[in-house]
Chain A
Amino acid sequence: QKEVEQDPGPLSVPEGAIVSLNCTYSNSAFQYFMWYRQYSRKGPELLMYTYSSGNKEDGRFTAQVDKSSKYISLFIRDSQPSDSATYLCAMRSGGNKLVFGAGTILRVKS
């Protein structure tokens, strides 16, 4: 079983929809949680970084962490075609070794 599970999709939504992306994890030592966006043939771009349970909002993006359930989510409001990309969750316990989910392919249709 992988330490981090993420549905690879693809997830297809109409423009303007609210998108929910999720990851579950098994290692209770994970303390820091990140979401990255990766466009084709590009490096991952950091979207959200959090280390506590609860919600963190940044513009159209909200990251949610539930450590008791070992579950994290990323919500995208008012989705745009430019949001079409692969979304990767990542987490770590200490140091800088990140453990990534498989990535979810998101397609926003105009």
Chain B
Amino acid sequence: KAGVTQTPRYLIKTRGQQVTLSCSPISGHRSVSWYQQTPGQGLQFLFEYFSETQRNKGNFPGRFSGRQFSNSRSEMNVSTLELGDSALYLCASSLDPGGDEAFFGQGTRLTVV
């Protein structure tokens, strides 16, 4: 059974640009959550999607957005990149929003220069 797939694995972008990251959850999982991991702040919740709807959002500026497609795949977008957006972006997959375990992908390492 395939795990959570995140693409691309690595990205280098320039300040002011925008970026789109992709996440394919485990087959049959319908809930996708996104997290940002930095050395200073650790793992922080960005948002959660289920049935193409955002159910919950963390304390991040509006430059961070996401969406989910009918096949449960999800994308997140960061516009007007800042140096502080450099981080490991992780996607987590769960069966549904109500419970059960959350399984993470390998992440996308974003570097903003």
Chain A residues close to B by CB (< 8 Å) = 32, 34, 36, 41-46, 49, 51, 88, 90, 94-103
- The reply to whether A46 and B107 contact each other, CB–CB distance below 8 Å, is no
| Complex CA–CA separation, A96 to B57 (angstroms) | 11
- The reply to whether A43 and B107 contact each other, CB–CB distance below 8 Å, is yes
- The reply to whether A46 and B97 contact each other, CB–CB distance below 8 Å, is no
Chain B interface extent, by class: 20 to 34
Contacts between the two chains (Cβ within 8 Å), count: 64
Contacts A51-B99, A96-B31, A96-B48 given; 13 further ones with Cβ under 8 A? A34-B102, A43-B106, A44-B90, A46-B103, A90-B43, A95-B48, A96-B50, A96-B97, A97-B45, A97-B56, A97-B58, A99-B45, A100-B35
7 shortest interchain CB distances as A-B pairs: A100-B43, A43-B104, A43-B106, A44-B104, A49-B101, A96-B33, A43-B107
- Which residue on chain A has the smallest CB distance to residue B46? A97
